[in-house]
Amino acid sequence: MEKKQCPRCKTLIEPMPILYGLPGPEMVLGAQAGKIRLGGCTVEPESADYVCPECDAALPWVRQPGDDDGIEDDALGAYWPGDAGASPRQ
Ligand SMILES: [Zn+2]
C-alpha cells in the first residue's frame, strides 16, 4: 500500500488494516507480526478500517468517499473530534 503521512504524528507510514471478527490462527499470527490490528468482534459505525502503526491513530482518510460499506461519509469527521481546527500549519 502507498505510504501516507499520518495526520496525528506526521510520520510517513503504511496504514495498518484493522480486521474485525473472531480472529482465526492466521489473523493472530498477522497481528503478532505487526501486519494487522485486531479490531475485536464488534464493528461500530465509528470503527476505522486502518490505524497508524506508530501512534494508533484511526485513519479514516484511507477510505474512499462513496465506499459502499454502510458508513455515512459525513460521519468520517467524527474520527477526529479533537483535531478540528488543530492543524495551523496546513
Ligand atoms: Zn501516527
Per residue in 19-37, pLDDT tens? 999 999 999 999 999 999 9
The rounded Å distance from CA 14 to ligand 1 centre is: 10
- 75 with 45: CB under 8 angstroms? yes
Going from the Cα of 52 to the center of ligand 1, the distance in angstroms, rounded, reads 5
Any idea where the domains of the chain sit in the sequence? 4-79
Distance 10 CA to ligand 1 centre (A): 6
Instruction: List CB contacts of 41: < 8 A, sequence separation 6 or more.
Output: 20, 21, 22
Per-residue confidence (pLDDT) for residue 69, from 0 to 100: 53
Average pLDDT over residues 9-23: 91
Bigger pLDDT: 23 or 74?
Answer: 23
